[in-house]
Structure 1
Amino acid sequence: MKQLTAENIEKTYGEKTLFRDLSFVVSENEKIGLIGINGTGKSSLMHLIAGIDGADSGSFKHPNDYRIQYLPQEPDLAEELTVLNAVFESNAPVIQQMREYEEIMDEYEKNPQSDELQQRVLKAQEGMDKADAWDANSQAKIILSKLGVQDIGAVVGTLSGGQKKRVALAKVLIETPDLLLLDEPTNHLDYEAIIWLEEFLRKYSGSVIIVSHDRYFLDQVSTRMIEIDQGRAFSYKGNYQSFIEAKALREEEEQQSMQKMKSLYRNELAWMRKGAKARTTKQKARIQRFENIEQEVGSNTNKDQLSLGMTSSRLGKSVIELQNISKGFKEKTLFQEVNLLVQRTSRIGIIGKNGTGKSTLLNIIAKRLEPDEGTVEIGQTVKLAYFSQEIIGMDGSQRMIEYIREGAEVIQTEEGSASAAQMLERFLFPLSTHGTPIYKLSGGEKRRLYLLRLLMDRPNVLLLDEPTNDLDTETLTVLEQFIEEFQGAVITVSHDRYFLDKVAEHLLVLKADSKVEIVQMDYSSYLQREMENIKLKAEPLKTEVKEPQKKKKLSYLEKKEWEEIENKIAQAEEKIALLDQEMQTIGSDFDKAERIMSEQQKANEELEQLIERWDYLSEFAE
């Protein structure tokens, strides 16, 4: 069995110790979700496993032929390469053979009359046979297509950040290593691509470690969760939902243990205050014990008070109203005739594909940007807080506590009042970190601090632009709980399914044709509706597609496919028959019935595709 073992890993960056005696095992075919608040070192741990950085002590053990591939949040691809060369940039013989074949076929398609190229094609096909690379090549094309990577001849340097991320993701998936390390793999993917990736990773034969804020994605893919907390690794069997349940039990047990430790601490503190002289070995040992207890008690974040419990400013009946808003840039109209009435407790999600103007509309609502047409009316009692994608006005040399105190020294909460230090603790910053200069924080920690600063002003309308970016799942839970208790209106731009399902009661959908739709449903239901509509619209197109011009003969690859397709059809029919038999034996087992029905649907779709392909190939088979 191929597995990776981390033994007693320790790592310090500057003054901050991220890992102390960190140990875990990644078994074969495991799908692990790596979780923890920002600053605990999730990406740093990925670097250590990938060999990009070295541990101060401890080791990672795995077989010599164990291959690891890493997808960072910000991929580093050679700007001068084509997409094809970037994707197939590997020393693996199969990948090299695939790259050579695709390069030759690209040349051949441009000049099919060349005798020299015809000979090179034949030689490349023989190489593919010897390397047994046809299936891998077919899988590579599926991966590229599903991730929306169409132009394999494009130069990497001309691509957008999102396109580069998709190319980098395709590269690591095509490699099929023993261990995939994926840092925020769903960023820049649309809904269909995310659903495909979930299915791909579930069936992936190797192991996977995933860092993601997409909790639905973690729930669908993970078979185990590892939480990094105060330099230690806590393992939970199951998916994200199982992790939440198990973590709640663990923290309840820890809280009981901590209450006992606090009682002991009070006794030890009383002894210390009596001025005991540290002369004897016994007294020195007791002082050491006190210091250990003090450190343990001091490092414990008060996790049973994740609710911010903040009160908002009074909000009148008149909040925000948009009337016939239109906006465009240059010759492109983003949206037009947007009409929206925001009420005191509105929960609105703004969604749409990239480039439809979601952030632009939010800026118009905040009166940071003027519309081309229409008016924005904001009530006199409205106190806006705008959580933008860019952090504004944060001085890196300032200490965290000073930054928050600039907003307010003390604020009113549902329980009475809370100091700036108490609010930092409630927002997952332990007391021991409050004097830390802001420049030492991770990107996610800065976002969390910035969010708290905005909330300290006690707003009554929240505008959130992609709030889930760079925020860990625990902070998102705090934010979601705050929004649930918040007495004012919330308008958020987001692509995070889990977050939108929890905080948005209706959706403002910006479409590519500049039209706007308001729907009264949660985000997941809307996405499901759109998927069904796409399928329905695609049905009649089958009869309208022009007949392709007949080819003289099948290509080499199509001949191989024609020789094997009837066996594949027979296997698919046999699988459906077995599933039908199994369906007759389930009794009242609803979960089993649901699983079999899902498998039946997939098997029937596969059979339909095979028959359609057989029908096409049969026209040109000799």
Structure 2
Amino acid sequence: MISYLQIDGLTKSFGELVLFNSITFGIVQGQKIGLIAKNGTGKTTLLNIIAGKEDYDAGSVVFRNDLRVGYLEQSPQYPAGLTVMQACFYSPNETVRLIAEYEAAMASGDHSNLEDILLRMDNNKAWDYEQKAKQILSQLKITNFDQKVEELSGGQLKRVALANVLITDPELIILDEPTNHLDLEMTEWLEGYLSRSTISLLMVTHDRYFLDRVCSEIIEIDRQQLFQYKGNYSYYLEKRQERVEATNTEIERANNLLRKELDWMRRQPQARGTKAKYRIDAFYDLEAKAKQQRMDGNVSLEVKASYIGSKIFEAVKVSKSFGNLQIVKDFDYVFARYEKMGIVGNNGTGKSTFIKMLMGEVEPDSGGFDVGETVRFGYYSQDGLQFDEQMKVIDVVQDLAEYVQLGDGKTMNVSQFLTYFMFSVDKQHNFVYKLSGGEKRRLYLCTVLMRNPNFLVLDEPTNDLDIVTLNVLEEYLRNFKGCVIVVSHDRYFMDKVVDHLLVFKGNADIQDFPGNYTQYREWKEIQSQNAKAEESAKQKLNPPTEKVARSSGVEQKKKLSFNERREFEALEAEISSLETEKSSLETALSSGSLSNDDLMAKSQRIAELLDEIDEKTMRWLELSEWA
């Protein structure tokens, strides 16, 4: 197995804050690794160190010679004035620089050096890169190649940056939150692209379905140390829980033993000679172990929601357009008490605009929202709360309230509430400017929830939040005694929280679906299959004119020959067999019990199977028209 990257004894700190201490791991050819850690514990810092963008205190980062590496940053930036196509070629890759040189020569009209550029492009097969860039951009729904990058939305910019990484054909890709700002369609496209590819991958993402379906190994940074799990996200959850329970048992055992040893230390002052020194040293080691904080498994929090009446809100003939773009048209809806609605759809279909109209931030063109008198909104927006960066975390929250009302009639002080959302006591007394981006979003979430709203409106709450925080938020929302509207591209989050969906399809086409996102996808797939079957039946009843007898008297065949009939029947069995083998390989890859060599071999075999299944399915469809 070819080693692509080896990290040994890596340590990084900022002042007294140690992010990770002497961590070691490697990436070999074909490995797909997901990196998990709480916000503020060094995920992005580690990726930046590997990419050469940040320094480190100790250790080593060694790549294989001439390895092609692509890095997608969490918030990609490009110089103003670049077009989409120029941004795609904004890279140190030699071939990409050559294409950029060609594009610049063509744009300027200076063709004095064009012959030399064309020769070098031919030698480097650069034309393939340009075609590949346009193909990937089109698949990512970016079609205006001359648009300036400063005119792009966050989601569009992320897609351009993704294309910038993929077209260089890297052997190892490093991705920092690749699904942030991508809509569901693009997330699923990227998921399929990466899972089918044999490329090596190191990725940070909060999208747990994405992790489960793409990665075959998980590494976790926890308490400055690194833990490795040879399996997908589901396997990681199981094994991490075992580690949590084992660690807590060990701490409990140490505490029990410490009490006995402490009694001995107090009763035996004269015994502290050379004979008992080993026991005294062991006592201090034991004391350090007993003082470790117990690890949390599942954290749950129930905060009191204000009373909410039977009338929530009613949308009455709401219409909104921006020029030729229609968001909603004559939209009517009566929101029920305790309803938990998810809003999904591609970027640009009007999800956030709909929320802003409900919250009174955007005026509809006509119609309106009739909101009940008892409704008390808690609004988490994409823009977020603007904090005073010089304030301490605990002061930000205490400015809103000293105590949080719990569902059982009790109260919780602000410090305890912040602890539930993974702000340690030390972190609570930090200044806001020291927080990571994800920690600021988490603090913003706390300020929304602690006001005891009875109707939560959450616009992309999962962006920049770590998985641990998402688990806490999901549990909170499942037990929330009020109404919820969530706009999110996180499929796992939506499946756990909402009971039905509004699907924004664009051009004011909005579907009310009674179920979660996975149920919607399954229903949509069935509808697609039914539509294909109907179309196939229509074609059999009304065959295309080119398959009907020609005026020349030469008649197209209408029945399969004997050999074609045998081939058709054999294909059905072959496709079924290949699908069974693929399913078996996927199960093996998810088991976490395979060696690196086996992982690589089975990953390559799955890629071959997908090609074979596609090829045989196309032939089966061709023959089925005459069966």
Please confirm whether the aligned pair reaches a TM-score higher than 0.5, indicating the same fold.
yes
Distance 2:268 2:379 in 1: 52
Q: Which deviates more from structure 2 when the two are superposed, residues 170-179 or residues 404-413?
A: 404-413
* Equivalence for 1:182: 175
Q: Report how far residue 232 of structure 1 moved.
A: 1.3
* Equivalence for 1:143: 136
Residue correspondence of structure 1 range 513-552 to structure 2 within 5 A: 513-527=507-521
* Equivalence for 1:490: 484
Q: Where does structure 1 lack aligned partners over 5 or more consecutive residues? A: 548-573, 612-622
Q: Report how far residue 364 of structure 1 moved.
A: 3.2
Sort the Cα spacing of 1:250 and 1:598 in 2 relative to 1 into closer, same or farther, 3 A. Answer: same
Distance 1:191 1:214 in 2: 11
Q: In structure 2, what residue type is equivalent to 1:143?
A: I
* Equivalence for 2:339: 346
Report if aligned partners of 1:302, 1:426 keep a CA contact under 8 Å in 2: no
SS in 2 for 1:66: coil
Q: Report how far residue 533 of structure 1 moved.
A: 6.5
Q: For each residue in 1:164-203, what CA deviation from the matched residue of structure 2 results, as whole angstroms up to 9, or x when unmatched? A: 2222111111112232111121234343433332232224
Q: Which deviates more from structure 2 when the two are superposed, residues 403-412 or residues 253-262?
A: 403-412
* Equivalence for 1:366: 359
Sort the Cα spacing of 1:64 and 1:489 in 2 relative to 1 into closer, same or farther, 3 A. Answer: same
Alignment partner of 1:68 is 2:69: yes
Sort the Cα spacing of 1:176 and 1:600 in 2 relative to 1 into closer, same or farther, 3 A. Answer: closer
Q: For each residue in 1:224-258, what CA deviation from the matched residue of structure 2 results, as whole angstroms up to 9, or x when unmatched? A: 11111121111111221221122111111112112
Alignment partner of 1:56 is 2:49: no
Alignment partner of 1:224 is 2:217: yes
Give 2:447's match in structure 1, choosing from 450, 453, 464.
453
Distance 1:271 1:41 in 2: 42
Q: For each residue in 1:193-215, what CA deviation from the matched residue of structure 2 results, as whole angstroms up to 9, or x when unmatched? A: 33332232224343111111221
SS in 1 for 2:30: coil
* Equivalence for 1:409: 403
Sort the Cα spacing of 1:82 and 1:533 in 2 relative to 1 into closer, same or farther, 3 A. Answer: farther
Report if aligned partners of 1:308, 1:482 keep a CA contact under 8 Å in 2: yes
Q: Which deviates more from structure 2 when the two are superposed, residues 364-373 or residues 597-606?
A: 597-606
* Equivalence for 1:152: 145
Q: For each residue in 1:579-601, what CA deviation from the matched residue of structure 2 results, as whole angstroms up to 9, or x when unmatched? A: 94484599999747998997665
* Equivalence for 2:205: 212
Instruction: State the identity %.
Output: 38
Alignment partner of 1:240 is 2:252: no
Q: Which deviates more from structure 2 when the two are superposed, residues 267-276 or residues 512-521?
A: 267-276
Alignment partner of 1:478 is 2:472: yes
* Equivalence for 2:7: 6
SS in 2 for 1:304: coil
Q: In structure 1, what residue type is equivalent to 2:303?
A: M
SS in 2 for 1:61: strand
Distance 2:206 2:127 in 1: 36
* Equivalence for 1:603: 615
* Equivalence for 1:510: 504
Q: In structure 2, what residue type is equivalent to 1:462?
A: L
Distance 1:508 1:587 in 2: 36
Report if aligned partners of 2:182, 2:489 keep a CA contact under 8 Å in 1: no
Alignment partner of 1:195 is 2:188: yes
* Equivalence for 1:259: 252
Q: For each residue in 1:377-401, what CA deviation from the matched residue of structure 2 results, as whole angstroms up to 9, or x when unmatched? A: 3334333211222333633333333
Q: Report how far residue 13 of structure 1 moved.
A: 1.8
Normalised TM-score (structure 1):
0.79
* Equivalence for 1:334: 327
Q: In structure 2, what residue type is equivalent to 1:516?
A: I
Q: Which deviates more from structure 2 when the two are superposed, residues 248-257 or residues 381-390?
A: 381-390
Report if aligned partners of 1:411, 1:418 keep a CA contact under 8 Å in 2: yes
Q: Report how far residue 153 of structure 1 moved.
A: 3.6
* Equivalence for 1:400: 393
Sort the Cα spacing of 1:469 and 1:593 in 2 relative to 1 into closer, same or farther, 3 A. Answer: closer
Distance 2:185 2:263 in 1: 62
Sort the Cα spacing of 1:443 and 1:15 in 2 relative to 1 into closer, same or farther, 3 A. Answer: same
Q: Report how far residue 27 of structure 1 moved.
A: 1.6
Give 1:167's match in structure 2, choosing from 160, 163, 183.
160
Q: For each residue in 1:406-456, what CA deviation from the matched residue of structure 2 results, as whole angstroms up to 9, or x when unmatched? A: 424253344955333332222222334332222211121121122223222
Q: For each residue in 1:550-594, what CA deviation from the matched residue of structure 2 results, as whole angstroms up to 9, or x when unmatched? A: xxxxxxxxxxxxxxxxxxxxxxxx9x9789448459999974799
* Equivalence for 2:551: none
Report if aligned partners of 1:336, 1:516 keep a CA contact under 8 Å in 2: no
Residue correspondence of structure 1 range 108-119 to structure 2 within 5 A: none
* Equivalence for 2:42: 41
SS in 2 for 1:18: strand
Residue correspondence of structure 1 range 288-437 to structure 2 within 5 A: 300=293, 302-329=295-322, 333-392=326-385, 394-405=387-398, 406-409=400-403, 411-414=405-408, 417-437=411-431
Q: For each residue in 1:129-180, what CA deviation from the matched residue of structure 2 results, as whole angstroms up to 9, or x when unmatched? A: 6435566555444323212232334443443333222221111111122321
SS in 2 for 1:355: coil
Q: Report how far residue 507 of structure 1 moved.
A: 1.2
Sort the Cα spacing of 1:431 and 1:285 in 2 relative to 1 into closer, same or farther, 3 A. Answer: farther
Report if aligned partners of 2:379, 2:458 keep a CA contact under 8 Å in 1: yes
Report if aligned partners of 2:378, 2:455 keep a CA contact under 8 Å in 1: yes
* Equivalence for 2:438: 444
* Equivalence for 1:88: 89
Q: In structure 1, what residue type is equivalent to 2:453?
A: P
Aligned length: 574
Distance 1:393 1:154 in 2: 31
Q: Report how far residue 298 of structure 1 moved.
A: 5.6
Q: In structure 1, what residue type is equivalent to 2:83?
A: T
Sort the Cα spacing of 1:48 and 1:272 in 2 relative to 1 into closer, same or farther, 3 A. Answer: farther
Distance 2:66 2:281 in 1: 47
Report if aligned partners of 2:404, 2:417 keep a CA contact under 8 Å in 1: no
Alignment partner of 1:466 is 2:467: no
Give 1:500's match in structure 2, choosing from 487, 494, 503.
494
Q: Report how far residue 216 of structure 1 moved.
A: 1.4
Q: Where does structure 2 lack aligned partners over 5 or more consecutive residues? A: 547-566, 588-605
Report if aligned partners of 1:6, 1:61 keep a CA contact under 8 Å in 2: yes
Distance 2:268 2:443 in 1: 40
Distance 2:404 2:280 in 1: 36
Distance 1:67 1:135 in 2: 17
SS in 2 for 1:32: strand
